[in-house]
Structure 1
Amino acid sequence: MATSSQSCCVCYLRHITNPSIVWCTECDEGLCTECKEHHRFSKASRGHRVIRIAEYQKLPAEILKITQYCTKHDKKYQFYCQKHECPCCSKCIVENHNECRDTVELDDIIHDAKTSNALCEIEETLVEVAENLQKIRQHQQDNLTTFKESRQEIENEIKTTRIKINNHLDKLQEDLMKQLYAVEEKENLKICQLLSSLETREKEITDCQRNIVIIKKHATDLQMFLSMKQIKEDVYSKNKFVQSLEEDKNFKQSSLSYKINTSMKNMMSHIISFGEVRIETKSCDIALIRKKAKQAQMMVPTVQSRSIENIKLAIQKTFNTQGNFIFGCCMLSDGRMAFTYYWDCKIIIFNTKGIKDFKVKMPCNVYDIVYISEDNALAVSSGGSEKQCITIIDLKRKQIKKTISLDSYLYGIVALKDNRLIYSGYDKGIRMINLYDESISDIVRDNMTCNCYTATFRDNIYHTNNSTNTVTCYNLQGGIQWTFQNVSVLKDPSGIDIDNDGNVYVVGTVSHNVVVITPDGKRHREVLTASDGLYCPTSLHYSEQKNQLLIANSNNKLAHFV
């Protein structure tokens, strides 16, 4: 801004001080009564939108910092670089964004910012978080009442029991009473601290909701759009706080209880304790609202981003896979889906509607499966079967084409170009096989555990290890690029695949979820959970052509198409 919003900007340039009564959102300036009239009738500015200066000053301070003009070149923003997520003036484009291909007209981006799905989702999430905080606060207040009632019941029981015994137990009674009150005070302190935190969060939510109403009413489209990302992050952190309370021990249902020492009734002098006061916890029975977790639209569809924070999956189809112990799945080029049934020694092909097309009986156990587009065939690994082999299935003839015997167990398998496969070979490490001459070369010579999966993207190989709960990225020479491990999010990592942007998707069999990891392995996010129908998922496959993900559960006869 040229001057403070309290003074007329035009008069300021004339070295005159007059108070502003309105603010022009187009000129980004305050205007006094006289300048307002000139501004209203001037051809260049008669169509500009002005608001009362008092209303303008109600906008949050961080919103007021957003202007229409480039702070570096003092030119009006005209473009938006989607790659760098920033507005640009004409000089910015020349100096810093000349090679950026994702530059669009700013007006095309901001014209519907106040009515966008992104803002609606933020407002809905705020309502959701506020309702959840209110539920939790009420729950904890009820818990305080229960604590008081429980304490009174225990106190009465202690006093009643104490009457039946002789006077030398007075000291023991006193010690127990001190313990009782101390436990109650300590637990009350925890609950009060949590309530204080909840009240603070509720106030923040209320402030955020009020700011959004003011921003929608008085801020420019640009201000609305550029502040949306920060608002979204604030809302996400508050929502994350609510969800994290479920896992926090302070959020457990607590109650006071007392167990009488039955030996007391015998009045034996060697008894050294009157009883025990303890806290019993159980999971809370309140149901938090999770509307946001079920939504599948992009936050800001007009500004595409490859960040994992923008990745959202929606279950498009769920169907019965007609069996258990499914350890491998893949999608064919025509949309059909193939699954392995380990103990049944068979594979089944389903059409795009989830109806069984045909099955092939196998000579051994079958673990992972991959589609070979060059030959229109499937390659199947034998897992921990006594017969250690890769079986090639001709899809046109719907029968086994050939079997390649190997010298180790093999689990996860992935196809490369030129009829080469990479597989996890147990104690032989990660290996590559040429299907033409059946020659084998070692990539990673380290011993691997059983049930490991592998995937490739460009010059990298990705490998899961359920024994160490890790996902490791190697180059084609076997050098480690990075290793991901976070047992609080991903337990028993199994099936793995990579999307067109290099993001790594992994299923957690024990954690019942799908986690996406950034190409550099530094960041991650949980994108599907048990609430989405995942139960012991073992395998997944990403279709590059369809940009779709196929996920197979192991034991509940369901597959998900997202």
Structure 2
Amino acid sequence: MASSTGKLCGPCEARYKTTTAVSWCMDCDDGLCSPCLEDHKVNKASKKHQTIPVGQYVGIESVSSLIKQDCEEHDQRLTFYCLDHCVTACALCVPEKHKQCTSLKPIEELARNAKSSAELFEIEKGIKELDNTVDELKNHRQRNIDTIKGQRKTISQEIKSFRKQINKHLDKIESDLLKELESKSEQNISEINILLAKLKERGANIKSLGKTIHQLKESLSDVQVFLATKGFGEKLLEEQEWVATVCTQNEAKESVLELSTDPQLKQMVSDLKGFGMIHVVRNPCQIKTDAWEQQRAQLNVPMTAAKDIDQTELELIREISFGVGENIKDCVIVNDGRMVFADHNNDKVLVYNPEGQLSQSISVDKSPFGLDVISSITVAVTCRKHETINIVNIDDCDIKQKIKVGKPCCGLSYHDDKLYVLTVHTGIIEFDLSGNITRTIPVYVPDGEGYLSYYKDTFCYSCYQNVGEKNIACCDNNGREIWRLDVADSGVTADNYGNYFASNYSNGTVQIVSADGKKAKQLLDLYDLHIRTYLEGVFFDKNSSTLLVSCSEIARLYRAI
């Protein structure tokens, strides 16, 4: 019967039995029931095999194809790794394909401390960054939907407003034209009525003249009628001339009302197809996706063994000058190589390009001190006087968020969506990115000038107490002290192996301390270089193996070799 994981015991299946697997052999790539597991552990050929609970295997089954332990060509165990070709090899591959290779290493040697290797750390970091990028892209697209809805509403209102303007204008034009029609029609009717009144009067006179002639004919003699006829002829001629004159005047002409539309209006109606057009402009996506590719290009075969600090040296790449009287505190390097500094006196975050030129100067809260990188475009900075953390977008040059600490704060470190802040007389306060305090880790912080660094569930922090009193301490995730040394009192940062670079404010030196705190080596003495300035922050860029050192008035970028 199959288990809830669906995995069956391989040896039992070979015997035509169906048995639930409780463990999985990573070397045999096969499931084992309880009895077969016991046999597997005592069998000479398999007793050294690695077995894990089957439920645990289900969780990593999707990547099991990446774990190839046998050579597909020779069916032999893969026991070597060629650094020249970046491939695994079995004992038979070596003489056939890697006879001339000078960097052939046993896999077991390279795999020591693989779980804490720099490459795995960077891959985990890359996965987290890619996950953050996908989330950022999803949020970006969702915000775009909200923007489109807002734009749709705005444009709809603009169209309706434009329509109202057109309607209002057309109503006015129509009203004016109707008024003109009314005026001209009334004017012509009035003129005609006046003429009609005159014609009525003249018509009455003419009719009266006709009646008079009729009466004369009945009552007067021919001689009298003859003499009156000449006078009647003159009166008739006079009336005829008046009528003839009237017929030539405008009042007698026929009035015809006609509408003549504006040719431009006709053309507009003919040509007008709509109010306008809706265009979609595609702006390039600004989300950066190549940060992990840049890191991956710099990664080689895992260098998992702890590095002896005696092998570490510093080689100067460039120096940046801030000016006399400045007071630069912490520093960081983002993934694209830009360098960021906390300008304590001027309440600024300064961004320099990889070539060492100032590219951005961003105003933040009072007295910026500790810095750490959140993403390729975002840093966090503590501001001591305002007792806040500012989340700053160094591309847009603005503060995205302010988190109230409420206590004097200095050193800062970011890991796994958590901000860790060194606070005076309290310890290390853990915040989520929404600004909520999730816990407090009790460590002794006597002064507000300390720095903080996180590396794989451990914290390293510095304290400056009094002149001549300096401390750098390492504690676990719960604040239990692991070691404490008196070699530094200022900036701290971890390398790829858990060793710590630490600066000394008072004597201008930079030390490297082994991960276990048992060894320390001085790497740099600015006073020997005749550089009289106070050392502050240090930041190790794990991608480029470079160390950035900030002082009050200058900064120096070194290659760690």
TM exceeds 0.5? no
Larger gyration radius, structure 1 or structure 2: 2
TM-score by length of structure 1 reads 0.44
TM-score, normalised to structure 2's length?
Answer: 0.44
